[in-house]
C-alpha cells in the first residue's frame, strides 16, 4: 500500500465528475434493502453476517451497464455512492439481530415503530461519531491501516471501470441460493439437515445443514476461521455432550437448570439446549471480552485521537479544503448527536414500556457514552482486521454488563429494566457496527477520490431508508419461524438475553458458564482465537460443519492454483458467488416468512416422502450439485 505522502487518488481532487445522483442513491437503496433482509436472515440463523460492500459494488456496475443502452451509464464515483448507500443496511442488520430478538424471546414483542427508531438512531449515531475520525484514520494513517474490505472494494470498482465482468458471479450465486432454498424449504423435497450418529460414543453425533448460505459463508471466511469454528463445535458435540451423557447415566435426579428430565432420558440436542448452550454462552462472552481487552491499547489511542480530533476541528479556522477532504461540518455532527440523544430520552416508546423519565434520560446518556467510545474503537479495529473480525459482540456484551450493573444498583431489575438494557445495547451495537462499515466505505472513497461529505450523507440515507425493511424482515421471520427455534436459533440475541438475566435475575447456572470461561481461556493459552472458537462451541454442529465445508473448498481451490493470478481470481470469484448464495437464500427465506405471515403457516411443500429412506442421500446429492456449480463459478474467467 502506498504511503500517504506519495498517494494519488484514482479521480484527482481537481476533477468533479458526477457523484451524488438520484440514480446512484436509488440503486444503493434497492440493493441495500435486499442485502439487509438477507443478512438479517443469515444472522438469525448462523449468528454472523457478511460485509456486502463488494457484492453491492459489482451489482451496481452491472446495473449501470444495463442503463448504458439508455445513455445513462454512471461514473465510478456514482458507483461508489451506490455501494456506500447499499452497504449501510448490513451493519444495521447486524446490530438489530444481535439484540432485539431478545425482546421476542422474553415475550415483549416490540412494535415496528420502536424497532425502526432504534435502528435509525443507532445507525445515524455511529455514522456521526465516525465523521471527526476520518481525517486521521483514513487519510493520515493511510499506509498503516489497510482497511481490507474498503481497499478491495476500491480495486473492484477500478477494475470494473477499465474492464472485466465480475458481477455475473454474484447474480449466479443469487439464483443458485434462491433455487436451493426453494427446493429445501419451500417444496421441502429434501431434509434440511442430515445427522450421523457416531458409533460407540454415547449420544455423540455429527450433522450437516443443507444451507447454500452457510456454504458460501465458509468460503468467504476462509479455511482458518472455518476450521477454528468447527473445532469449537466438535468440542461440544463429540466431547462435552458425550461426557455429560456418561456422567448423567448414574444420576437419579435432574441437573439444574433442567428440573424435569434426567440426563439419561435426553437426546443429544436436548443436552445441548439445556447445558452446552450455557457453556457456550460463557465461552462467547469471555472470548468477546478477551478480544476487547486485547484491543485496549488501540482503544485508548483511538479514544485519545477522537477527543483530539473534536478539539482540533472546533479550533480550526476556515481554510480552503480540496473536494476530496470535505467532511460534513462538525456543528452538524454535534447538533445531530444532541438531537438523537434528546429524541431517545423524550420519545416514550423508544425504550419500550419505560415510563420513568429518569430511566429514559439515563439510558440515552449511557448510549451516547458507550457509542462514542466503541465507535472510536470499531473504526480503528476494522482498519487492521476488517469488518468480519470486528468484535461487535464483545462491545455489546460490555455495554450490557455495564448498563445492567447500573440498573441493578438502582433497583431496576424487573421486566422494564431488562427491556431498557437491551435497547441500550441495541443502539450501541448498531452504532459500533455501522461505524466499521462507514470507515471501510470512506477508505474506498479515499482511494477513488470521492467527496467524503457526499459519502457521509449517503451512509445516513442508507441507514435511514433500510431500517424499516430490516425490522420488517425480523418481524416476519419471528412470525414464521419463531426465534430460538432450529430454523432461527438467534444465537447472539439469546446470548445477550442470558447476559442481562445473569446480572439482573442471577438466573444463570454459573458452574456451566464457568466451564465456558475456562474453555475460552484455554483456547487463548493454545494461541487459538477464542471468539470464533467459542462461537463454534455455542452453535449447532450442523451449522458449523457446513461453514467448514465452504472453508475447505476455498483451501482446496487456492492450494491447487497454478500461480498467484489464478489463486486471486479463484478467491475473488468464490467470494462473489458465495455472497450471492447468502443473498439468494436470505431473500427467499424472508419471502417464505412473508408467505407464512400472510397465510398463517409456512408452505407445506411436496415433502421428502417421495425419496423414502433415501431422502438423506438425495439431499447430499443436491448439495453435491451445488458444490459442483460453485467450483465451476470459481474457475470461471
Residues 35 and 135: beta-carbon distance below 8 Å? no
Report the C-alpha gap between 451 and 339 in whole angstroms.
Answer: 25
118 or 72, higher pLDDT: 118
Q: What share of the chain is helix, strand, coil (3-state, %, to 5)?
A: 75, 0, 25
Confidence grade of residue 459 (pLDDT, cut at 50, 70, 90): very high
Confidence grade of residue 300 (pLDDT, cut at 50, 70, 90): low
Region 130-134: what's the mean pLDDT?
84
Q: Which residues pair with 193 in a beta bridge?
A: 209
Question: Is 448 within the bounds of a domain?
Answer: yes
Residues 400 and 496: beta-carbon distance below 8 Å? yes
Question: Is 37 within the bounds of a domain?
Answer: yes
Question: Is 215 within the bounds of a domain?
Answer: no
Question: Is 351 within the bounds of a domain?
Answer: yes
Collapsing DSSP to helix, strand or coil, 142 comes out as coil
Q: Tell me what pLDDT residue 503 has.
A: 83
Q: Tell me what pLDDT residue 239 has.
A: 93
Q: Tell me what pLDDT residue 4 has.
A: 54
Confidence grade of residue 164 (pLDDT, cut at 50, 70, 90): low
Residues 459 and 441: beta-carbon distance below 8 Å? yes
Model confidence, pTM:
0.75
Report the C-alpha gap between 347 and 359 in whole angstroms.
Answer: 12
Three cell numbers, residue 40: 438479517
Q: Tell me what pLDDT residue 302 has.
A: 52
Q: Tell me what pLDDT residue 536 has.
A: 84
Report the C-alpha gap between 602 and 616 in whole angstroms.
Answer: 22
Longest dimension (CA), the chain: 80
pLDDT exceeds cutoff 80 at 285: no
Residues 6+ apart with CB under 8 A from 567: 558, 561
pLDDT exceeds cutoff 60 at 316: no
pLDDT exceeds cutoff 70 at 34: yes
Residues 616 and 191: beta-carbon distance below 8 Å? yes
pLDDT exceeds cutoff 90 at 340: yes
With b for 16 or more beta-carbon neighbours within 10 A and e for fewer, the 149-186 pattern comes to bbbbbbebbeebeeeeebbbbbbbbbebbbbbbbbbbb
Region 23-40: what's the mean pLDDT?
88
Q: Tell me what pLDDT residue 390 has.
A: 65
pLDDT exceeds cutoff 60 at 588: yes
Q: Tell me what pLDDT residue 631 has.
A: 95
Strand locations in 39-114, DSSP E? none
58, 89, 461, 604 from 129: Cα distances, Å: 29, 18, 16, 47
Phi-psi region of 316 (alpha: psi -120 to 50; beta: other; left: phi over 0): beta
Report the C-alpha gap between 403 and 321 in whole angstroms.
Answer: 41
Say what angle helices 277-294 and 491-504 make with each other, to 10 degrees.
Answer: 90
Rounded to 5°, angle at Cα 94 from 498 and 347: 80
Q: Tell me what pLDDT residue 298 has.
A: 58
Q: What is the mean pLDDT of the chain?
A: 83
Question: Is 152 within the bounds of a domain?
Answer: yes
Residues 6+ apart with CB under 8 A from 491: 46, 47, 535, 538, 539
pLDDT exceeds cutoff 50 at 1: no
Region 613-624: what's the mean pLDDT?
90
Residues 6+ apart with CB under 8 A from 482: 488
Residues 464 and 576: beta-carbon distance below 8 Å? no
Confidence grade of residue 304 (pLDDT, cut at 50, 70, 90): low
Q: Tell me what pLDDT residue 136 has.
A: 76
305 or 243, higher pLDDT: 243
pLDDT digit string (tens) for 469-502?
Answer: 999 989 988 888 888 887 788 888 888 888 888 8
Residues 516 and 279: beta-carbon distance below 8 Å? yes
pLDDT exceeds cutoff 80 at 539: no
Three cell numbers, residue 431: 452504532
Query: Considering only CA atoms, which of 226, 381, 406, 405 is closest in space to residue 292?
Result: 381
The rounded percent of the chain whose pLDDT value lies above 90 is: 26
583 or 633, higher pLDDT: 633
pLDDT exceeds cutoff 90 at 451: yes
Half-sphere exposure of 169 (CA within 13 A, CB side): 28
Q: Tell me what pLDDT residue 378 has.
A: 79
Ranked by mean pLDDT, which of 92-96, 384-388, 428-432, 589-593 comes out on top? 428-432
Residues 331 and 314: beta-carbon distance below 8 Å? no
Length of the chain: 637
Report the C-alpha gap between 157 and 62 in whole angstroms.
Answer: 11
- Sign of the torsion angle spanned by Cα atoms 347, 353, 354, 360: negative
Report the C-alpha gap between 572 and 578 in whole angstroms.
Answer: 10
Region 567-585: what's the mean pLDDT?
84
The rounded percent of the chain whose pLDDT value lies above 70 is: 89
Q: Which domain holds residue 439?
A: 19-173+295-313+328-491
Region 101-113: what's the mean pLDDT?
90
Question: Is 224 within the bounds of a domain?
Answer: no
Q: Tell me what pLDDT residue 329 has.
A: 81
Report the C-alpha gap between 246 and 251 in whole angstroms.
Answer: 10
Transcribe 442-466 into DSSP letters. Answer: HHHHHHHT--HHHHHHHHHHHHHHH
Confidence grade of residue 167 (pLDDT, cut at 50, 70, 90): low
Domain count, the chain: 1
Phi-psi region of 17 (alpha: psi -120 to 50; beta: other; left: phi over 0): beta
Question: Is 231 within the bounds of a domain?
Answer: no
pLDDT exceeds cutoff 50 at 333: yes
Query: Considering only CA atoms, which of 503, 508, 289 is closest in space to residue 410?
Result: 503
Q: Tell me what pLDDT residue 318 has.
A: 47
Region 565-577: what's the mean pLDDT?
87
pLDDT exceeds cutoff 90 at 127: yes
Q: How far, rounded to the nearest angstrom, does the alpha carbon of residue 621 sit from its chain's CA centroid? A: 30
309, 331, 619 from 133: Cα distances, Å: 7, 15, 50
Residues 103 and 412: beta-carbon distance below 8 Å? no
Collapsing DSSP to helix, strand or coil, 296 comes out as helix
Q: Tell me what pLDDT residue 306 has.
A: 54
Report the C-alpha gap between 277 and 497 in whole angstroms.
Answer: 13
pLDDT exceeds cutoff 70 at 54: yes
Three cell numbers, residue 336: 445531530
Report the C-alpha gap between 438 and 427 in whole angstroms.
Answer: 16
Q: Tell me what pLDDT residue 6 has.
A: 63
Three cell numbers, residue 237: 458435540
Residue bearing cell 447468502? 582
Amino acid at each position: 500500500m502506498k504511503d500517504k505522502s506519495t498517494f494519488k487518488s484514482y479521480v484527482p481532487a481537481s476533477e468533479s465528475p458526477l457523484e451524488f445522483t438520484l440514480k446512484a442513491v436509488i440503486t444503493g437503496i434497492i440493493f441495500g434493502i435486499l442485502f439487509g433482509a438477507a443478512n438479517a436472515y443469515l444472522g438469525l440463523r448462523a449468528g454472523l453476517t457478511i460485509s456486502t460492500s463488494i457484492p453491492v459494488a459489482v451489482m451496481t456496475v452491472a446495473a449501470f451497464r444495463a442503463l448504458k443502452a439508455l445513455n445513462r451509464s454512471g461514473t465510478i464515483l456514482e458507483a461508489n455512492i451506490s455501494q456506500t448507500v447499499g452497504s449501510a443496511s448490513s451493519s444495521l442488520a447486524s446490530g438489530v439481530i444481535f439484540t432485539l430478538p431478545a425482546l421476542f424471546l422474553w415475550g415483549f414483542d416490540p412494535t415496528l415503530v420502536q424497532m425502526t427508531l432504534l435502528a435509525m438512531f443507532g445507525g445515524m449515531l455511529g455514522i456521526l461519531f465516525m465523521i471527526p475520525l476520518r481525517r486521521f484514520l483514513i487519510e493520515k494513517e493511510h499506509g498503516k491501516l489497510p482497511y481490507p474490505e474498503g481497499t478491495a472494494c476500491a480495486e473492484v470498482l477500478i477494475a470494473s471501470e477499465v474492464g472485466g465482468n465480475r458481477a455475473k458471479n454474484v447474480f449466479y450465486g443469487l439464483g443458485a441460493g434462491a433455487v436451493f432454498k426453494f427446493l429445501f424449504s419451500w417444496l421441502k423435497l429434501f431434509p434440511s439437515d442430515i445427522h450421523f450418529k457416531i458409533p460407540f460414543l454415547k449420544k455423540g453425533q455429527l450433522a450437516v445443514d443443507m444451507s447454500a448460505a452457510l456454504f458460501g459463508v465458509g468460503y468467504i471466511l476462509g479455511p482458518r476461521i472455518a476450521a477454528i469454528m468447527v473445532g469449537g463445535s466438535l468440542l461440544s458435540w463429540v466431547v462435552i455432550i458425550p461426557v455429560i451423557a456418561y456422567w448423567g447415566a448414574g444420576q437419579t435426579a435432574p441437573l439444574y437448570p433442567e428440573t424435569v428430565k434426567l440426563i439419561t432420558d435426553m437426546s443429544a440436542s436436548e443436552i445441548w439446549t439445556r447445558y452446552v448452550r450455557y457453556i457456550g454462552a460463557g465461552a462467547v462472552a469471555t472470548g468477546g471480552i478477551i478480544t476487547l481487552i486485547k484491543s485496549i491499547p488501540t482503544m485508548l489511542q483511538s479514544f485519545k485521537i477522537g477527543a483530539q480530533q473534536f478539539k482540533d476541528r472546533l479550533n480550526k479556522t476556515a481554510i480552503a479544503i480540496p473536494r476530496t477532504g470535505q467532511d460534513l461540518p462538525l456543528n452538524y455532527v454535534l447538533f445531530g448527536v444532541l438531537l438523537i440523544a434528546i429524541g431517545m430520552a423524550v420519545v416514550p416508546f423508544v425504550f419500550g414500556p419505560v415510563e420513568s423519565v429518569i430511566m429514559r434520560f439515563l439510558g440515552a446518556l449511557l448510549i451516547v457514552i458507550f457509542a462514542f467510545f466503541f465507535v472510536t474503537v470499531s473504526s480503528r479495529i476494522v482498519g487492521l482486521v476488517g469488518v468480519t473480525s470486528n468484535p461487535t459482540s464483545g462491545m455489546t456484551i460490555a455495554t450490557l454488563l455495564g448498563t445492567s450493573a447500573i440498573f441493578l444498583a438502582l433497583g431496576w431489575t424487573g421486566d422494564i429494566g431488562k427491556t431498557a438494557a437491551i435497547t441500550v445495547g441495541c443502539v450501541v451495537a448498531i452504532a459500533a457496527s455501522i461505524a466499521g462499515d462507514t470507515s471501510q466505505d470512506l477508505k474506498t472513497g479515499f482511494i477513488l477520490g470521492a467527496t467524503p461529505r457526499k459519502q457521509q450523507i449517503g451512509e445516513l440515507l442508507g441507514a435511514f431508508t433500510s431500517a424499516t425493511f430490516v425490522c420488517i424482515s425480523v418481524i416476519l421471520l419471528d412470525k414464521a419461524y419463531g426465534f430460538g427455534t432450529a430454523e432461527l436459533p438467534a444465537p447472539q440475541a439469546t446470548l445477550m438475553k442470558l447476559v442481562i438475566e445473569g446480572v439482573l435475575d442471577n438466573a444463570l447456572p454459573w458452574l456451566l458458564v464457568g466451564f465456558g470461561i475456562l474453555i475460552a481461556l484455554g483456547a487463548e493459552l493454545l494461541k487459538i482465537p477464542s471468539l470464533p472458537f467459542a462461537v463454534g462451541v455455542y452453535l449447532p454442529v450442523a451449522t458449523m460443519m457446513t461453514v467448514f465445508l465452504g472453508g475447505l473448498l476455498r483451501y482446496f481451490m487456492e492450494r491447487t492454483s497454478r500461480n498467484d493470478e489464478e489463486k486471486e481470481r479463484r478467491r475473488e470469484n468464490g467470494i462473489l458467488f458465495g455472497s450471492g448464495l447468502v443473498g439468494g437464500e436470505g431473500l427467499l427465506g424472508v419471502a417464505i416468512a412473508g408467505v407464512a405471515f400472510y397465510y398463517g403457516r409456512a408452505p407445506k411443500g411436496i415433502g421428502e416422502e417421495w425419496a423414502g429412506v433415501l431422502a438423506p442421500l438425495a439431499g447430499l446429492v443436491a448439495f453435491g450439485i451445488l458444490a459442483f456449480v460453485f467450483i465451476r463459478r470459481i474457475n470461471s474467467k
